[in-house]
């Protein structure tokens, strides 16, 4: 069964159960109230008749104003032997039951009708006189009429319930049909730019459509990235493959050129191998399957060694290099990955430096985390190079992104920063960039500190 049919059936059943329960409760209350009223009226009439009894030499008499059939209540006087002295008795009750003072009883006549009987004893010198009141229970007739009404009303109630349930579910599931239609259309034509338009709303269906739209948006974004990635990979591999093919053709035509061709082929093959290794690492990073060997690393000592090496290389190229390394900072990380990340950032700073007056700095400091507690190591690499345009500041982390043709001419694969970000992330840190076009850039790596030396005033 469809969900609409299930909901309609449940809606109908629950509505009928509630209706019958309500009607049953009301009928029971009505019967109880009616029976109480009938009994109270019976007792009142009998008591009134008892008060009007007079005993004289002529015998027992009742005030002439006494009504022996008062609003359906039959009243009669009986002697001790059960012989009626005066009054009326319903013909439906053929046998006179025994008398019982102040007792309310219920008797059934030959036709199945119910009657209430109430007796009151009046003692005289001549003996006991019984005043008996009898009244018919009219609730049975009311119940029969009510059941007849039910026989007519229940089918109508069922039809109304089914129609109402169907209309409600039809309208409630209209957005679901729109979601299904849009999903089927997207599956059919592959257009991930299509969205589910349900208008404004905050109910569950609107939340579902919003989740679908976000999913389609994510899929569209990933598909675009995959297309771009495939195109970039094809382009990057086409060049070295073309060189390899051309060099091998030249070598085959001119054996004297073989040694030089082998050298070019070897270089291009190594570049391709390096590119494929980088792509494999990024693929593993995306799948969260990168295996690292974390250990406690003295980050201060590591960066001091890096700074010493870079200072020597910068001096050879006429670059002003400075460092400011805070001592005693230790982190839990994969040492090789952190070193490669820092060297990659420094390599970019050297590669895209100014032709004159180039300045590069490497800094390490500890920073307090006021909200989360603990401390973090902050590594920053700053240069005064060409900088990055504001619209590209987030794109620099994308694979194969190069802001200008100059980067391609400088043997840039466009994977360096993407790999840096993946390496830092897998070590539990973050990396970010700030830049002003024409003035320079600062790249910042943050890693959680696992300890500091006591010599620096902090406990491990």
How many other CB atoms sit within 10 Å of the CB of residue 426? 19
Compute the distance between CA of residue 153 and CA of residue 117 in angstroms, rounded to an integer. Answer: 36
Q: What is the DSSP string of 361-395?
A: EEEEEEEE-TTT-SEEEEEEEEE-SS---GGGTTG
pLDDT at 2: 67
Given this model, what pLDDT does residue 198 score? 66
CA-wise closest residue to 280 among 422, 424, 98, 153: 422
Confidence check: pLDDT of 300 > 90:
yes
Q: How far is CA 169 from CA 17, 173, 204, in A?
A: 20, 6, 14
Contact criterion met (CB below 8 Å) for 385 and 350: no
**Model confidence over 14-47: pLDDT tens digits?**
877 887 787 777 777 877 777 888 888 888 888 8
Does 425 have pLDDT greater than 90? yes
Distance separating alpha carbons of residues 129 and 120, to the nearest angstrom: 8
Query: What pLDDT, on the 0 to 100 scale, is given for residue 371?
Result: 61
CA distance to 19, 61, 63, 130, 316, per residue, from 54 (Å) = 55, 5, 7, 13, 143
Of 312-326, 362-376, 404-418, least confident by mean pLDDT is 404-418
Kindly give the pairing relationship between strand 359-368 and strand 320-325.
parallel
Rounded to two decimals, what is the model's pTM?
A: 0.54
Q: Quick one: fold of 3-142? A: Beta-Lactamase (3.30.450)
Burial category of 399 from C-beta neighbours within 10 Å (exposed 0-12, middle 13-18, buried 19 and up): buried
**What are the Cα distances from residue 28, in Å, to 20, 32, 112, 139, 188?**
12, 6, 20, 10, 61
What pLDDT is stored for residue 407 in this prediction?
52
Residue, of 242 and 402, whose pLDDT is higher:
242
pLDDT at 453 over 60: no
The rounded mean pLDDT for the chain is 82
- pLDDT the model gives residue 4: 65
Tally of CA atoms within 13 A in the half-sphere of 345 that contains its CB: 30
Report whether 376 contacts 367 (CB < 8 A).
Answer: yes
Query: pLDDT at residue 80 above 90?
Result: no
Weakest mean pLDDT among 182-186, 309-313, 447-451: 182-186
Say how far apart CA 31 and CA 35 lie, in whole Å.
6
pLDDT score of 55 more than 60 = yes
Q: Do the domains at 3-142 and 204-286 have one common CATH topology? A: no
pLDDT score of 81: 81
Residue 9 has pLDDT above 50, yes or no: yes
Q: Do residues 121 and 82 touch, judged by C-beta distance below 8 A?
A: no
Q: What is the mean pLDDT of residues 408-418?
A: 70
Instruction: State residue 459's pLDDT score.
Output: 38
What share of the chain in percent tops pLDDT 90?
23
Q: 271-291 as b/e, with b when 16 or more CB fall inside 10 Å?
A: bbeebeebbebbeebeeeebe
pLDDT at 364 over 90: yes
Q: 125-177: per-residue pLDDT in tens? A: 778 888 899 998 876 556 666 667 777 777 777 787 778 777 877 777 777 77
**Which range in 90-94, 142-146, 232-236, 437-441 is most confidently predicted, on average pLDDT?**
437-441
Q: How confident is the model at residue 370 (pLDDT cuts 50, 70, 90)?
A: low
For 151-160, b where at least 16 C-beta lie within 10 A, e where not — what string? eeeeeebeee
Whether the pLDDT of residue 406 is over 90: the answer is no
DSSP string, 249-291: HHHHH-GGGHHHHHHHHHHHHHHHHHHHHHHHHHHHHHTT---
pLDDT band of 51, cuts 50, 70, 90? confident
Architecture per CATH, 295-456: 2-Layer Sandwich (3.30)
CA distance 155 to 150: 9
Asked whether the beta carbons of 169 and 7 are under 8 A apart, the reply is yes
pLDDT tops 90 at residue 429: yes
**Inter-residue contact 305 to 339 (CB < 8 Å):** no
CA distance 146 to 188: 59
Predicted local confidence at residue 420, as pLDDT: 93
* Chain segment 376-396, per-residue pLDDT in tens: 999 999 999 889 999 999 988
Fold of 204-286: Helix Hairpins (1.10.287)
Sign of CA dihedral 135, 137, 138, 139: positive
Q: Are 376 and 369 in contact (CB under 8 A)?
A: yes
Tens-place pLDDT, residues 273-288: 888 888 888 878 877 7
How do the domains of the chain map onto residue ranges?
3-142, 204-286, 295-456
User: Does position 460 have pLDDT exceeding 60, yes or no?
Assistant: no
Mean pLDDT of 405-425: 75
Residue 302 is predicted with a pLDDT of: 94
């Amino acid at each position: 069964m469809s969900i609409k049919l299930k909901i309609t059936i449940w809606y109908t059943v629950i509505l009928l159960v509630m209706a019958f329960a309500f009607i049953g409760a009301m009928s029971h209350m009505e019967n109880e109230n009616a029976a109480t009223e009938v009994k109270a009226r019976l007792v009142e009439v009998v008591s009134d008749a008892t008060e009007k009894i007079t005993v004289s030499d002529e015998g027992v008499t009742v005030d002439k104003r006494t009504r022996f059939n008062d609003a359906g209540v039959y009243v009669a006087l009986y002697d001790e032997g059960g012989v009626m002295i005066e009054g009326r008795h319903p013909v439906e009750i053929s046998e006179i039951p025994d008398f019982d003072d102040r007792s309310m009883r219920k008797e059934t006549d030959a036709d199945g009708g119910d009657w209430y009987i109430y007796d009151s004893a009046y003692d005289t010198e001549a003996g006991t006189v019984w005043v008996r009141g009898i009244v018919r229970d009219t609730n049975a007739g009311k119940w029969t009429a009510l059941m007849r009404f039910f026989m007519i009303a229940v089918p109508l109630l069922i039809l109304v319930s089914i129609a109402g349930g169907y209309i409600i579910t039809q309208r409630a599931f209209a957005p679901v049909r729109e979601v299904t239609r849009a999903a089927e259309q997207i599956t059919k034509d592959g257009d991930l730019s299509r969205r589910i338009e349900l208008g404004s709303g905050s109910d569950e269906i609107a939340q579902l459509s919003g989740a679908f739209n976000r999913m389609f948006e994510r899929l569209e974004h990933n598909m675009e990235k995959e297309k771009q990635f495939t195109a970039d990979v094809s382009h990057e591999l086409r060049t070295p493959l073309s060189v390899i093919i051309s060099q091998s053709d030249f070598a085959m035509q001119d054996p004297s050129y073989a040694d030089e061709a082998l050298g070019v082929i070897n270089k291009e093959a190594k570049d391709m191998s390096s590119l494929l290794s980088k792509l494999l690492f990024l693929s593993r990073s995306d799948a969260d399957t990168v295996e690292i060997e974390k250990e406690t690393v003295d980050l201060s000592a590591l960066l001091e060694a890096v700074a010493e090496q870079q200072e020597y290389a910068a001096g050879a190229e006429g670059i002003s290099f400075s460092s400011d390394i805070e001592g005693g900072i230790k982190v839990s990380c994969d040492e090789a990955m952190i070193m490669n990340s820092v060297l990659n950032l420094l390599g970019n700073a050297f590669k895209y430096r100014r032709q004159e007056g180039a300045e590069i700095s490497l800094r390490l400091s500890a920073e307090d985390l006021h909200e989360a507690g603990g401390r973090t190591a902050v590594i920053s690499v700053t240069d005064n190079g060409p900088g990055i345009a504001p619209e590209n500041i987030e794109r620099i982390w994308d694979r194969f992104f190069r802001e200008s043709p100059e980067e391609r001419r400088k043997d840039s694969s466009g994977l360096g920063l993407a790999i840096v970000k993946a390496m830092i992330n897998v070590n539990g840190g973050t990396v970010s960039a700030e830049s002003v076009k024409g003035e320079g850039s600062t790249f910042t790596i943050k890693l959680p500190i696992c300890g500091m030396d006591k010599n620096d005033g902090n406990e491990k």
